[in-house]
Structure 1
Amino acid sequence: MPTPLPIFVINLDRSKSRWQQVTSRLSQLNLEHQRVSAVDGKTLQVEDISQVYSATLNKSLFRYDLTLGEIGCYLSHRHIWQTMVDQQIPYAVILEDDINIQTEFAHVLDMLVQYSDWELVKLGDDRDLPFYQQHSEAPFIWGNYKKIPNCTLAYAISLSAAKKLLSREKFYRPIDIDMQFPTKLSLNVLGLKPYAVSPNLDFDSEIVAINKGKHKGNTSFWRNLKYRIMLAWQRKKYTSGNLNQIKKAT
């Protein structure tokens, strides 16, 4: 059946079992969805990476060099954002393939279309971080964060948010970390609980597998400390988004 929002599922071509698990579950819920071939970081050439990734900004503003897996992951999400811009898709849901999907997921989609003017809504979190402020809309709760979940396993995104995230010509942090700094892009990041998507622990991280669990490149105590101070300042001064920005669709 047609879904209230387009659903894109990011999946590496070689990860067939992950795709079978996700597509089977979404089909059980009668939710249309589209597979998006993920960018395999191992296949990227140096020239490809230099066009999208700033090693200079990374060393200045983040605590370690990005791995090929993290770069490929970021590009996979960027490709969907660009598709939204090219096709003028007003809202969409983006899923990674290492997830469990609860039956309530269909109701989450229904809730999202009842509201307008949201930009980025977290639909899952591997640690269930608390909301800072919240608004109840039974059986769900909208909220914002002081500490934004650092995972991208499931989120809803608007066209305006996609444009903002694409406004950076080059990225220098992992995608989930970039989303922890929404004020830089005037991005409104909220969450919708109870989460209907959770990590599937039966699958190992593709990012870790690509890089054998190690981060390539240098880091240091001072580089890490600088980043931690910057992140702590961000969390102390700002919330992730404004709940008053969203409103019931008419």
Structure 2
Amino acid sequence: MNMRNYTGALNRIRYRLLFHRRLLDVCRQSNSFSKDSRDSIQRIYAINLDRKPKRWSQVSNKLKRIKSRSDTSLFELSRRFSAIDARYLDEKIDSKMLCPYFTLADQLQVEPNPLIQIDESSKAYKIKMTPQEIAIALSHIELWKKIASDNIPYTLILEDDVYFERGFANNLDAAWTDIINKSSQPFTFDILFLSFQEVGIKPKTRIHEDGLVHKPNCGIWQASGYVLSKVGAQKLLNMLPAYGPVDLWLNLQFDKLDVYLINKPIIEQRVDVPSTNSYSIMPVLSQIGVSTPI
């Protein structure tokens, strides 16, 4: 539930420069992807609304530009996953899968605010998810089911409004090797976030321990680009029902999961693509006098 946005002419220019800079990327092969190696990412799913075919086309074009260890394009490893559409959402939600409410205290656990305390009042303050948040959460959950049932060790999950940063292949390969070195045998983890915004931390001021990946030490927003293991998918399903926006709920499960973040995001959300999401927390924070970035 990242509410950060780029506004103003200078920021729009900055975004266009960053977005098109990826075209200068020399390395177009990532050894972290492979068709058959068990220590690699063997599948890519892009969550895409049926009424947004252009987004799937844009994601496909990005994937065709990068080769895997098997010398085939990442597009060959990719599959389109039909997203649940908020426009046609059935009001009857399976309570075993998702509770469409969360509390203000849940929000504050991920993004603390000095003006609001986590107390009995915030724990009792229920917030209803928007239809868009419900649809996004259910889409991710359905994909977790698919990943848990398949015999594929690691899968990259993408939302359809992302792009790869310059250096994506090299940076992912270096991070993947770092995780292998950090992991006990056999090599395994639950989630590796490649796209995220750490709460209260600007990218240029991000400082972490040695290495190319780290454990989350604060809240993060976004679930638009992450690697999920088969083991991790089953763990998430065992923790259901989820409650609240999917990125918020994932944060609240970190202490039960083996989670890594790459030190610098290598997948970003496009700001030139109109968002189809709607945030339930925004009017709540406005009502209690907390300003939010827009």
TM-score over 0.5 for the pair: yes
Q: 2:234, 2:288 → 1: CA distance?
A: 30
Q: How does 1:22-171 map to 2 (within 5 A)?
A: 22-29=59-66, 30-32=73-75, 33-48=78-93, 50=95, 52-55=97-100, 58-59=102-103, 62=106, 64-111=127-174, 114=177, 115=180, 116-126=187-197, 133-136=208-211, 141-171=212-242
Q: Deviations over 1:151-171 (max 9, x none)?
A: 011111112221121123322
Task: Verify: 1:14 aligned to 2:51, yes or no.
Answer: yes
| Identical-pair percentage | 24
TM-score, scaled to structure 1 = 0.72
Over alpha carbons, which structure has the higher Rg?
Answer: 2
Shift of 1:134: 2.9
Are the aligned partners of 2:132 and 2:277 in contact in 1 as well (CA < 8 Å)? yes
Q: Cα 1:195–1:60, aligned 2, differ >3 Å: closer, same or farther?
A: closer
- Secondary structure (helix, strand or coil) at the match of 1:9 reads strand
Are the aligned partners of 1:131 and 1:146 in contact in 2 as well (CA < 8 Å)? no
Shift of 1:54: 2.1
- Tell me the residue number matched to 2:280: 215
- Tell me the residue number matched to 2:244: 173
Q: Cα 1:171–1:61, aligned 2, differ >3 Å: closer, same or farther?
A: farther
Q: 1:132, 1:97 → 2: CA distance?
A: 29
Are the aligned partners of 1:64 and 1:224 in contact in 2 as well (CA < 8 Å)? no
Are the aligned partners of 2:98 and 2:138 in contact in 1 as well (CA < 8 Å)? no
Shift of 1:8: 0.9
CA RMSD of aligned residues (A): 3.2
TM-score, scaled to structure 2 = 0.63
- Secondary structure (helix, strand or coil) at the match of 2:136 reads helix
Report the AA paired with residue 127 of structure 2: Y
Note the residue ranges of structure 2 that are not aligned, 5 or more in a row: 1-32, 67-72, 107-125, 181-186
Are the aligned partners of 1:126 and 1:199 in contact in 2 as well (CA < 8 Å)? no
Are the aligned partners of 2:161 and 2:269 in contact in 1 as well (CA < 8 Å)? yes
Are the aligned partners of 2:175 and 2:213 in contact in 1 as well (CA < 8 Å)? no
Shift of 1:219: 5.0
- Tell me the residue number matched to 1:243: none
Q: Deviations over 1:153-191 (max 9, x none)?
A: 11111122211211233221111111222345x112211
Report the AA paired with residue 26 of structure 1: L
Q: 2:63, 2:252 → 1: CA distance?
A: 31
Q: 1:160, 1:171 → 2: CA distance?
A: 18
Counterpart selection for 1:204 from 271, 274, 277: 274
